[in-house]
Structure 1
Amino acid sequence: MNLGQWVPIVGLVVLGALFALFSVAIAPVVGPNRPNRAKLSAYECGIEPTPEPVGSGRRFPVKFYLTAMLFIVFDIEIIFLYPWAVSFNALGTFGFVEMLLFIATAFVAYAYVWRRGGLDWD
């Protein structure tokens, strides 16, 4: 294997690393610095921070985490569609029927979450 073929790839990696380091180093110098109370306050996924702990009898809203988990689940389902689309001709009827079953299962899960109010944002 000829090492000369790797020169463009190594050069691109080095160029990317230099750009990233330069961007991080120059940002405090050229960027505006106007701190205010809102920018300096803690931000936890839209939940206002309180001094009392979570276990103090108060209910902890988990809708943000449920939304994130639903996004991951449905995103993974979409990822499974890419290899199927690439090898669609090679799989034939069997692959088509299997993907229809997979999509039907995903649709049932989506309908269940929708019916239970998991996609409502109050």
Structure 2
Amino acid sequence: MSTELLLSTSIFVIIGLVLVSVFALTKYLGPNNKDDKQKNLVYESGVSNPVGTTNLRFSIKFYLVAILFVIFDVEIIFMFPWAVNIRELGFLGLAEMFMFMALLFAGLIYIYKKKALSWD
């Protein structure tokens, strides 16, 4: 058996034993409040006693707007390095960024035509 394989196996086993022992120690040495009723109560946004059920149905438009925000917000990730290096990229970099922005604008027009952002 090679030395590297033996070393990596022993390191893996040691890390596993350390993790198991840390979890066991925290279970036995840490605080244990199983009978505390106050700890198991629901608390959300300052409301101790929630009203209604948790099975409420939300409109898909909330998720659609969130996904569209993420998609169109990612363009900033690509535009910032381009703006920093615009002189080194030259005319070709400018043309590529205009093509990228045209593609994003076409997507925005498509979303507008499909009325994905209307809340009626």
User: TM-score per shorter chain, which class?
Assistant: 0.5 to 0.7
Partners of 1:76 and 1:43 in 2: how far apart?
A: 35
1:90 is aligned to: 88
Runs of 4+ in 1 over 2 A off after TM superposition: 34-37, 40-44
Equivalent position to 1:41, from 26, 48, 51: 51
Distance 1:113 1:42, change over 3 A: farther
User: Once the two structures are superposed, what CA deviation does each residue of 1:69-105 show, in whole Å capped at 9, x if it has no partner?
Assistant: 1000000012211000000000000000000000000
TM-score (structure 2 length as normaliser): 0.54
Q: Which has the larger radius of gyration?
A: 2
How high is the sequence identity, in percent, across the aligned residues?
40
What residue identity is the alignment partner of 2:56? P
2:109 is aligned to: 111
- Aligned-CA RMSD value: 2.6
Partners of 1:43 and 1:81 in 2: how far apart?
A: 44
2:66 is aligned to: 68
Q: Using the TM superposition, give the Cα deviation of residue 36 of structure 1 relative to its aligned residue in structure 2, in angstroms.
A: 7.5
How many residue pairs align between the two structures? 75
Q: Using the TM superposition, give the Cα deviation of residue 35 of structure 1 relative to its aligned residue in structure 2, in angstroms.
A: 4.5
The runs of 5 or more residues in structure 2 that have no matched partner are 1-45
TM-score (structure 1 length as normaliser): 0.53
The runs of 5 or more residues in structure 1 that have no matched partner are 1-33, 51-59
